[in-house]
A and B are shown apart, each in its own frame.
Chain A
């Protein structure tokens, strides 16, 4: 898994609406990359729903949150609608999992990303990383706010 202090690998992926989104386009603003296994899986649904509830507080800290999984943009769109969330979802679809691999978040034997959070600072450097012990464990949203508070204190 990528570590704090390393440059965040740039990428360009399509979102749920088919629009291209590059990490570098967020420069000047913090970005929280939420790598998750699969759209529509029960645990991922819980995770993104909970994060949606505190999205205003995350954004108030100057952070843009995006979800990334190996699903297609079409699946992301349907997943967004099913969950009733407006968090932007990026399709790490082809080559499958290329971005997750670049961040060390990909699990080869299951073919999807581990549940991992990567906070990228305004200059494009990794500021904080959290990797779940298993894809079944959801990182609490409190951990995101702890990371932001630590960054503020530095």
Chain B
């Protein structure tokens, strides 16, 4: 079990999900969070490099863990931000069949998507981001560090 004592926000690294050009904005976001969905379009319009960090709060948004695992699995096929955009763009279809439809539309290999999103490696990757947010004192989403 990792220590959750205070620590600065880790700088963006090669394993982070990054998109855009310009100064870095590190965003701790919950894919089930309506506030994050509202903020997402505005954040993406900025001339900035968005660094996405997973911060699913399962008790608040029960589907969040599944959504973050799905995004991470899409990322393993090079379509991370496409699935994030899709999830924030339509928050009303987040059950498993909807995730399969979204994955199909993005041209993902469904078998691999299914295996990846249920894998321990993906869960650990999501949890690593979450824990770095806890250590940085994140108490709500979206939390933006620039």
- A residues lining the B interface (CB < 8 Å): 45-50, 52-54, 56-57, 60, 83-85, 138-143, 145-146, 149
Which of B's residues lie within 8 Å of A, judged by CB?
Answer: 1, 3-7, 57-60, 62, 130, 134-140
Given A52-B59, A141-B134, verify A57-B139 contact (CB < 8 Å). no
Q: Report B95 CB to chain A, min CB distance, Å.
A: 17
| CA distance in complex: A149, B4 (Å) | 10
**Candidates A45, A84, A142, A145; contact of B136 at CB < 8 Å:** A142
Contact between B5 and A49, CB atoms less than 8 A apart: no
Instruction: Provide the main secondary structure of the chain A interface.
Output: helix
The distance from the CB of A114 to the nearest CB of chain B, in whole angstroms, is 16
List the A side residues contacting B59 at CB < 8 Å: 48-49, 52-53, 83-85
CA distance A146 to B137 in the complex (A): 11
**Chain A CB within 10 A, most for which of B5, B62, B130, B137:** B5
Total A-B pairs, Cβ < 8 A: 63
Task: List the A side residues contacting B57 at CB < 8 Å.
Answer: 49-50, 53
Q: Is A142 a contact of B58 with CB atoms below 8 Å?
A: no
CB distance from A106 to the nearest CB of B (A): 23
Q: How far is the CA of A46 from the CA of B6 in the complex (A)?
A: 19
Q: Which residue of B lies closest to A48 (CB)?
A: B59
What are 12 A-B interface contacts by the 8 Å CB criterion? A47-B139, A49-B60, A50-B138, A50-B140, A53-B130, A85-B59, A140-B137, A140-B139, A142-B134, A143-B137, A145-B4, A149-B3
Question: Are A84 and B60 interface neighbours, CB within 8 A?
Answer: yes
Nearest-CB distance from A5 to chain B (Å)? 22
Residues in B with CB closer than 8 Å to A83 are 59-60
The CA of A33 and the CA of B57, in the complex, are separated in Å by: 22
Question: How many angstroms from the CA of A84 to the CA of B119 in the assembled complex?
Answer: 24
Q: Which residue of B lies closest to A85 (CB)?
A: B59
When distances are taken between beta carbons in the complex, the residues of chain A under 8 Å from B135 are 142
Report A52 CB to chain B, min CB distance, Å: 4
> Given the complex, which residues of A lie within 8 Å of B6, measured CB to CB?
140, 142-143, 145-146
CA distance A142 to B136 in the complex (A): 7
Contact A60 B134 (CB under 8 A): no
Q: Chain B: which residue is nearest A50 at the CB level?
A: B139
CA distance A142 to B139 in the complex (A): 10
Chain A hits for B140, CB < 8 A = 46, 50, 138
- Among B62, B130, B137, the residue within 8 A (CB) of A142 is B137
Q: A45: which B residues are within 8 A, CB to CB?
A: 60
Question: Closest CB of chain A to B2's CB: distance in Å?
Answer: 8
**CB pair B5 A149 closer than 8 Å:** yes
> What is the distance, in angstroms, from B111's C-beta to the closest C-beta of chain A?
31
